[in-house]
Amino acid sequence: MYNLYDRFKGETCIVIGNGPSLKDVSNEYLVTHHTFGSNRVYLKYVPTFFVCVNPLVIQQNWVDIASMNTEKFVREGSEIDDAYELHPISLPMFSYNPYKWLYEGHTVTFVSLQLAFFMGFHKVILVGVDHRYKFEGKPNEERLMEDDDPNHFDPEYFKGMKWHNPDLRRSEEAYMMAKEAYESDGREIINITRDSALEVFKKEELVWVP
């Protein structure tokens, strides 16, 4: 992974969340920058860098992930031959060297932000990070999504699959660490997600003319 260190120094990238608003973001816009995408984002768009650290997601979508032709970052032990393996730790810290370790922050978006920082990106644009979920049970609890998925851009996203309930409070704590890390180094994270419930980052509207 060290060959990726500062490879894109000073550049802008897009970190793609998989919320319902993503369906209104055109692929023509996404292709304008390097992109980080996660989990089942490939149902809409194959990003420059694919990230997946949740064991349930990897186990249930292993074939799809393994067959993707893009650079991949997955949790260690996933047995995907062409992927960089990440070593998660439980200590809540922003990792400046995800080659050695990183904190997952209860959201794969935080993992992408750490990787983007390591690669040198100066500006990160967030899309599809609605930060709004419908679920029953407690945060982090394993559940079965029996019906259409209301929380992602495609109703088939987790339909019929096991998933973990979100932990929005801890996710926001992780996002605050990312904000501090970026701003302390003169970098920025901008959230252009339509009607996003995430208030940690500066918000702007998506303005793009093809």
pLDDT score, position 3: 84
Whether residue 107 lies inside any domain: the answer is: yes
What gap in Å lies between CA 74 and CA 93, rounded to an integer? Answer: 19
Place of tokens 């096991």: 162
- Per-residue pLDDT reduced to its tens digit, 17-54: 999 999 999 999 999 999 999 999 999 999 999 999 99
Percentage of the chain modeled with pLDDT above 90: 91
Whether residue 209 lies inside any domain: the answer is: no
Q: How many separate domains does the chain show?
A: 1
Whether residue 144 lies inside any domain: the answer is: yes
Percentage of the chain modeled with pLDDT above 70: 97
- Per-residue pLDDT reduced to its tens digit, 106-117: 999 999 999 999
Average pLDDT over residues 116-138: 96
pLDDT score, position 81: 85
Whether residue 208 lies inside any domain: the answer is: no
Q: Is the pLDDT of residue 210 over 70?
A: no
Residue 118: alpha-carbon gap to chain centroid: 15
| Torsion angles phi and psi, residue 129, rounded to 5 | -95, 75
Average pLDDT over residues 152-164: 96
Whether residue 210 lies inside any domain: the answer is: no
Domain that holds residue 88: 2-203
Q: Is the pLDDT of residue 209 over 60?
A: no
Look at residues 128, 131, 124 and name the one whose alpha carbon lies nearest to residue 199. Answer: 131
Whether residue 170 lies inside any domain: the answer is: yes
Band of pLDDT at residue 69, cut at 50, 70 and 90: very high
Instruction: Tell me the pairing of strands 34-38 and 49-52.
Output: parallel
Whether residue 37 lies inside any domain: the answer is: yes
Whether residue 110 lies inside any domain: the answer is: yes
The number of beta carbons lying within 10 Å of the beta carbon of residue 27 is 9
Three-class SS of the chain? CHHHCCCCCCCEEEEECCCHHHHHCCHHHHCCCEEEEECCHHHCCCCCEEEECCHHHHHHCHHHHHHCCCEEEEECCCCCCCEEEECEECCCCCCCCCCCCEECCCCHHHHHHHHHHHCCCCEEEEECCCCCCCCCCCCCCEEEECCCCCCCCCCCCCCCEEEECCCHHHHHHHHHHHHHHHHHCCCEEEECCCCCCCCCCEECCCCCCC
